[in-house]
Amino acid sequence: MKRALLALWLLLSSVGFAQAQVPAGISTPISISASSQNVEITLISERAAVQPGDVFHVAIRQKIAPDWHTYWRNPGDSGEPTYLTWTLPEGVKAGEIKWPVPTAIPFGPLVNYGFSKSVVLPVEVQVPASAKPGTTLSLKVDATWLECADVCIPGEGSVAINLPVEAAKRDNGDAAAIQAALASLPKPLPGKAHLTNLGAGGLQLVVTGVPADGKAYFFPYELKLGALVDFAAPQEFVRGKDGFGLNLTKSKSLPDPFVGPFSGVLVLGEGRNAKAYSLGAELIAAEPIMDTSGPKAAGGTTDVGLLQALLFAFLGGLILNLMPCVFPILSMKALGLLEASHGDKAEARTHGLWYGFGVLASFLGLAGLLIGLKAAGMAVGWGFQLQSPAIIVGLAVLMVLIGFNLLGFYEIGTSLQGAGTGLASKSGHAGSFFTGVLAVVVAAPCTAPFMGVALGFAATQPAIGALSVFAALGLGFAVPFVALTLMPGLMRALPRPGAWMSRLREALSFPMFATAIWLIWVSSAQVGQAGVLAALGGVLAAGMAVWIWRTWSGHKGRAIALMILVAGLVGAGTYVTQAPAKATNVASASFGGEPWTPARVEALQQEGKTVFVNFTADWCVTCKVNEVTVFADPAVREALNGDKAVYLVADWTSRDDVIAQALASHGRVGVPLYLVYKPGVAEPQILPQLLSAEMIKAALN
């Protein structure tokens, strides 16, 4: 009914609106408003009266219902901006909307640009010099917009205003609102800007001559040929000697090659101290800015150099031996050590060295693979191999095979070291080498203290620097076992071999089976029931292969057993690879946390909230230990679910380039990572990887 009455009023008054000048019987402006379900619009003016030749501003003011929003000139991943169609007297001209700075509004995996609560959209109006005092100018505008919350509704309305023409102009009561909107508009960039390619879908906005404190966000204007950037991807700030860069992810709809020009709004800082600049530039062939600040140490305040990174890597590798994920492999190392401790000391040293070579080769191989994948443009980090369901299933089958071996169901070679790996040669040296390899593979789910800083530093270095850090990590991981084999005094202190070793060996099979169960659970978190089915199918094939191996003697039987095992692994890996991945980072099982997005963090900061971000993964043992101990503390849960603190979870169980890039922006290549954003502070506080309830409560307070 309200809309019908409004339409009737507009129809009856349309003749008056179409007139250029009508007798002035009104000395003050008259405006009307219109509304949809969630947005009310009003046409306001900074003038109470205009004069011939005047240039002034009117504005569409939108009052938006709570939890709803309208859109900026570039709506982002979805939406439509507000459009205005003017009906004006002859000679009167109205310009385009002068758009305020928007906010990034996350919606699931998408990010939109728009406005909430209220917004004033100014428009410049020119009055012709021929306008006669004593008449009235009638301005009418038809507006359309899209209003969205969980659903989107088209909105439309017509509003108008009558302004008397007088010899002297007079300001209106709405002048302050319009002038405040004009004052907040982006200013021209005082420095210079250009766009350069980073390769593999990356772009860098390079800005010089403008100071920045480490917080920046770029809102690109729309392009006729497609979007410039991926709106939902994080924008990494990179500080250089002569300026700064903002690393962006190229939109999939951007034509290739793209030469520009491009334009948009750059926002530096946040909150009341934020400054907005409009800029326009082109894509040029230039070197991107390299980060000169370096990654941060555990507290997020200390720069790390190469020597310190090498020391952190060595200490991290040393501590990695004590992490729970490495316990199953420690059992195999202990058995091999006991066997060699009271035998040939030279042979024991050889076993230790071969194990050390296996560890070093594995860490350097992982480093080379990481460097290659990053050069190809992939966002990967420590533990990336465990984001592959096929590798998870293969490791689960391998753990079952090791468990069968420790129970004595089959033997390969005579060395207990070989019993731990299934890859021993007659001398057992290959078994020692591959025990080291397997130890590194199983250690991947853990990130020990000091490791995160060291690996984050390695990710920013050339190949030789990265390889050096990984080599130091491998040395730290290998040195306890190697040192024992090189020191006769320590070897003699170990208990003498005896019948008890058989019982110990059988008992140590159960950590292997427990690890297999955990890996099957991880595969279910990645691809659902398909991961469980694939893993159990692989285990079935492994069990059949073991049975044939022990019952069918001779080379023929063993060949058949190996064929069945390989066929089972290939079939399980193929099946799980083709299964659709479960949606990543859509919900958290970690005590009610919200899914993390960069836009959500920014929005909460603008609301003055303290934000705690937990970067985690189901295959990260360190993460899970923290969650079932520290995060389960009632005091921690109460603090994270309070009125002032918001708990966000970034789930990296499956591959997620946005999370990988966010980790890299904080000098990390793996999880866990714990960040605390405080109101009014641009950079977050980085907490240690091994948490305590007191650490979290202190950081939140």
* pLDDT at res. 291: 58
| Of 36 and 271, more confident | 36
Cβ neighbours of residue 4 closer than 8 Å, sequence gap 6 or more: none
List C-alpha distances in Å: 689 to 638, 675, 699.
21, 11, 14
User: Among 317, 61, 299, 53, which residue's Cα sits nearest to residue 180?
Assistant: 61
| Of 146 and 698, more confident | 146
Residue 83, pLDDT above cutoff 50: yes
Q: Which one of 120-134, 233-247, 373-387, 545-559 scores highest in mean pLDDT?
A: 120-134
Cβ neighbours of residue 345 closer than 8 Å, sequence gap 6 or more: 488, 491
Q: What is the DSSP string of 599-666?
A: HHHHHHHHTT-EEEEEEE-TT-HHHHHHHHHTTTSHHHHHHHTSSSEEEEEEE-SS--HHHHHHHHHT
The CA-based diameter of the chain, rounded to the nearest angstrom, is 115
- Across residues 491-497, what is the average pLDDT? 63
Q: How do residues 110-122 score in pLDDT, each as one tens digit?
A: 899 999 999 999 9
User: Among 421, 429, 414, 285, which residue's Cα sits nearest to residue 352?
Assistant: 429
Q: How do residues 293-317 score in pLDDT, each as one tens digit?
A: 444 443 443 445 678 888 888 988 8
Q: How far apart are CA 287 and CA 203, in angstroms?
A: 11
Q: How do residues 12-36 score in pLDDT, each as one tens digit?
A: 433 333 333 333 334 445 556 788 8
The fold of 594-700 is Glutaredoxin (3.40.30)
Cβ neighbours of residue 656 closer than 8 Å, sequence gap 6 or more: 584, 585, 650
The phi, psi pair for 635, rounded to 5°, reads: -65, -40
For the record, the structure tokens of 95 come out as 């310009």
- Across residues 286-290, what is the average pLDDT? 71
Q: How far apart are CA 640 and CA 268, in angstroms?
A: 29
Query: 187-281: which CATH number, 2.60.40, 3.40.390, 2.60.120, 2.40.128?
Result: 2.60.40
Please tell me if the domain spanning 2-183 has the same topology as the one spanning 594-700: no
Cβ neighbours of residue 648 closer than 8 Å, sequence gap 6 or more: 593, 594, 595, 596, 600, 601, 611, 612, 613, 614
Residue 507, pLDDT above cutoff 90: no
Q: How do residues 406-460 score in pLDDT, each as one tens digit?
A: 788 876 543 333 333 443 333 457 777 877 887 787 776 666 677 777 777 776 6
Q: How far apart are CA 121 and CA 114, in angstroms?
A: 12
SS (H, E, C) 223-274: CCCCCCECCCCCCEEEECCCEEEEEEEECCCCCCCCCCCEEEEEEECCHHHC
Q: 432 with 482: CB under 8 angstroms?
A: no
Q: How far apart are CA 530 and CA 527, in angstroms?
A: 6
In percent, the amount of the chain with pLDDT more than 70 equals 78
Q: 319 with 448: CB under 8 angstroms?
A: yes
Q: 270 with 604: CB under 8 angstroms?
A: no
Q: Which one of 252-261, 334-343, 667-676 scores highest in mean pLDDT?
A: 667-676
Q: How confident is the model at residue 352 (pLDDT cuts 50, 70, 90)?
A: confident
- Tokens 């205005």 sit at which residue? 84
* pLDDT at res. 589: 44
Q: How far apart are CA 428 and CA 413, in angstroms?
A: 7
Is residue 522 helix, strand or coil? helix
Worst-scoring range by mean pLDDT, 131-140, 189-198, 589-598?
Answer: 589-598
User: 10 Å Cβ neighbour count for 203?
Assistant: 26
Worst-scoring range by mean pLDDT, 3-7, 44-48, 345-349?
Answer: 3-7
Residues across the chain: 701
Q: How confident is the model at residue 340 (pLDDT cuts 50, 70, 90)?
A: low
Q: What is the CATH number of domain 2-183?
A: 2.60.40.10
Predicted TM-score of the model (pTM): 0.47
Q: 151 with 64: CB under 8 angstroms?
A: no
* pLDDT at res. 43: 95
Residue 1, pLDDT above cutoff 50: no
- Across residues 150-169, what is the average pLDDT? 92
For the record, the structure tokens of 673 come out as 């990572």
Q: Let me know if 375 is exposed, middle or buried by CB neighbors in 10 A (0-12, 13-18, 19+).
A: exposed
Q: Residue 437 is which amino acid?
A: V
List C-alpha distances in Å: 430 to 339, 351, 414, 419, 437.
16, 9, 12, 11, 10
Q: 386 with 523: CB under 8 angstroms?
A: no
Q: How do residues 55-73 score in pLDDT, each as one tens digit?
A: 999 999 999 999 999 999 9
Please report, for the chain, the start and end positions of each structural domain, with discontinuous segments joined by +. 2-183, 187-281, 306-578, 594-700
Q: How far apart are CA 585 and CA 701, in angstroms?
A: 27
